[in-house]
Amino acid sequence: MYISETKMRVRYAETDRMNVVYHGNYAQYFEVGRVEAIRQLGLSYKDLEDSGTILPVIEWNAKFLRPARYDDLLTVRTTLSEWPTDHRLRFRQEVFNEEGKLLTVGDVLLYFMRSATMERAGMPKEMAEKLKPFFS
């Protein structure tokens, strides 16, 4: 199991007239969580893309339990609990506020794809090597 956490602060633009974070903006929070999870492994999602592997989002699911508000300092926890055996990569993602209350929980399914051919692919070798220690 690989768990990563990253923090981000709610921007004014991300609130809506209900005075809370617009639900659609959690897609960006989750995205930042995944990208930083990969960076904390010692890799860069940008480098993965530049070397020919893209990771489009195929499914996105979330439950909104409590609202996030303007200027809240959020913690996004990104968990990879299963080793990806084929082209599928599934993350669990949770957003907490400063009091440690769980605001949003979701799971996101991505596919490894080769950008040149847009065909499904396996996990890139350098990513597998970095992840291996967390799954033994």
Q: Are 89 and 115 in contact (CB under 8 A)?
A: no
> How many binding residues for a copy of itself (CB under 8 A)?
36
Stretch that binds a copy of itself, among 13-21, 76-84, 91-99, 124-132 (CB under 8 A): 13-21
To the query of whether residue 72 is one of the catalytic residues in this protein, the response is: no
Q: Are 92 and 61 in contact (CB under 8 A)?
A: no
Tell me the per-residue interface mask from 61 to 90 with a copy of itself, x by CB under 8 A, - otherwise. xxxx--x--xx-------------------
Identified binder of a copy of itself from the candidate list 5, 35, 130, 131, rule CB under 8 A: 35
Contact residues toward a copy of itself (CB under 8 A) are 9, 11-13, 15-20, 22-28, 31-32, 35, 44-46, 54, 56-64, 67, 70-71
Instruction: Give the residue numbers marked as catalytic.
Output: 16
